[in-house]
Amino acid sequence: MVEEPFDFDEVINRRAVPALKVHPMVLGADGMDLFAAGVADMDFRAPRPVLEAITARAAHGVFGYETVPDELLPALLGWLRHRHDWAVDPDHILRAPNVLNALAMAANLFTEPGDGIIIQPPVFFDFEDIIAENDRRLVVNPLVLSNGRYEMDFACLEASAAKPDVKMMFLCNPHNPVGRVWTKAELARLGAICRKHGVVVVSDEIHGDITFSGHRYTPFASVFEADALNSLTCLSPAKSFNIAACCSAFTVVPDAARRAAFKAENSRLTVNKNNAFASAAMQAAYLEGGPWLDAVNAYIEGNLALVRDRLADSPEVTLIEPEGTFLLWLDFNGLGFDPVHLTDFLRSKAGWAITRGLAFGPSGAGFGRLNIACPRAHLDRAMDSLITALKTHRKTTP
């Protein structure tokens, strides 16, 4: 079979639809001409099989209530088994509207108001919001940046998990925004600590399909059966295939009692309905999207190489080498700006609209998260603008 060509250099007008990445609520009223690289989606057209599946479903013309297609769950199970060597019992999988919904439901079901939930900042900002909005208490186990690489602080994790009112941990695997793809050994150590102290692990693994050469995503629940029973895993093809606006999510819940509670909550909140287009998109992605994903991962890794090369002569900015995701964590502390002035510099001088590091917690001050899932020429022009701004800053700084 001839390999299908994929055109990731195609420039697609994101403003032709109400895309969040380029919307004024994200860019600001004065930011429509900025390099929009904040919101974590891709600027690439979804895989052709996904587009064809959605088109075929639309052509049917009847959009009444539907059950889950018979082929969807086997497609997911096959993907997890062949792609990630993870054999999942189909009875353990529940549907969810999205990953964040699953995290919030887990917090409400398996902790009480005032209980502590551990996170590892700098980490996806919605973790903190979920904890606060559901009247739980934030417990921080900050990652440690050592020689340009983030590591888990297991001593701190042990101390936090040992507190009797700490009941849960939100794990980000792979980690957004620092790009770590946690190793099996790291996950095993984390799992042992959490089991020892009765802390349930809720693992957000939405970025699991996007890893770079030499790194392999390990599902937390695949490490040991005991970890599986002490965890809930949140999955979605949203990031992998750039279908966040037309897909849903899955929650893997191996423990029977927790699974029964989750099913009952799904019913109570009536979040157990099905969207015909989401089902069609996800099924096609898992059955036929592999070649596209391989190609997009290679393209994103090429974009990473471009950024690395373009920053080689800019000591003010340090690339934290990622192992996965299409998000880069950049250290701008060499510029000497406070967070407010850093954002202003990037917007007004470089023309960049990226996610400010402080959004991921206090340890993110002076950093920024850059989305590189865009056409390479677009990224190259953005790097030109940044480097020009850095050169001008050097000339004007005593």
What is the residue-wise DSSP string for 228-263? HHTEEEEE-STTTTT-GGG--EEEE--SHHHHHHHH
What local confidence, expressed as pLDDT, does residue 1 receive?
40
Confidence (pTM): 0.96
Q: How many domains would you assign to the chain?
A: 2
Does position 4 have pLDDT exceeding 80, yes or no?
A: no
Same domain for 362 and 378: yes
Last residue of a domain, one of 288, 323, 358: 288
Is residue 217 included in any domain, yes or no?
yes
Is residue 8 included in any domain, yes or no?
no
Is residue 341 included in any domain, yes or no?
yes
Same domain for 348 and 301: yes
| pLDDT tens profile 26-49 | 999 888 899 999 999 999 999 999
Same domain for 230 and 357: no
What local confidence, expressed as pLDDT, does residue 272 receive?
75
How many whole angstroms from its chain centre is CA 156? 24
What local confidence, expressed as pLDDT, does residue 2 receive?
43
124-147 average pLDDT score: 98
Last residue of a domain, one of 239, 270, 288: 288
Give the number of residues written for the chain: 398
Same domain for 29 and 130: no
User: Locate tokens 């002076």: which residue?
Assistant: 366
What local confidence, expressed as pLDDT, does residue 134 receive?
97
Sheet containing strand 249-252, edge to edge, reads 93-96, 249-252, 231-235, 200-204, 166-172, 116-119, 137-140
| pLDDT tens profile 94-103 | 999 999 999 9
Alpha helices per DSSP H over 92-206: 99-110, 125-133, 154-161, 184-196
Last residue of a domain, one of 267, 288, 309: 288
The CATH number for 37's domain is 3.90.1150.10
| pLDDT tens profile 171-202 | 999 999 999 999 999 999 999 999 999 999 99
Same domain for 367 and 223: no
Is residue 5 included in any domain, yes or no?
no
**Parent domain of 388:** 14-46+290-396
Is residue 26 included in any domain, yes or no?
yes
What local confidence, expressed as pLDDT, does residue 295 receive?
97
105-128 average pLDDT score: 98
| pLDDT tens profile 260-304 | 999 999 999 988 778 999 999 999 999 999 999 999 999 999 999
Same domain for 107 and 36: no
| pLDDT tens profile 292-306 | 999 999 999 999 999
pLDDT range class, residue 5, cuts 50, 70, 90 = confident
The CATH number for 156's domain is 3.40.640.10
Same domain for 294 and 283: no
358-387 average pLDDT score: 98
Is residue 56 included in any domain, yes or no?
yes
66-79 average pLDDT score: 96
pLDDT range class, residue 3, cuts 50, 70, 90 = low
Same domain for 61 and 20: no
Same domain for 302 and 342: yes
At residue 327, φ and ψ (nearest 5 deg) are -115, 130
What local confidence, expressed as pLDDT, does residue 158 receive?
98
How many whole angstroms from its chain centre is CA 250? 15
What local confidence, expressed as pLDDT, does residue 192 receive?
98
Same domain for 110 and 230: yes
Q: Is 222 helix (H, G, I), strand (E, B) or coil?
A: helix
Same domain for 386 and 372: yes
| pLDDT tens profile 7-32 | 999 999 999 999 999 999 999 988 88
Is residue 156 included in any domain, yes or no?
yes
Peptide bond into 69 cis (omega under 30): no
Same domain for 219 and 82: yes
Distance CA(288)–CA(283), nearest Å, equals 8
Is residue 298 included in any domain, yes or no?
yes
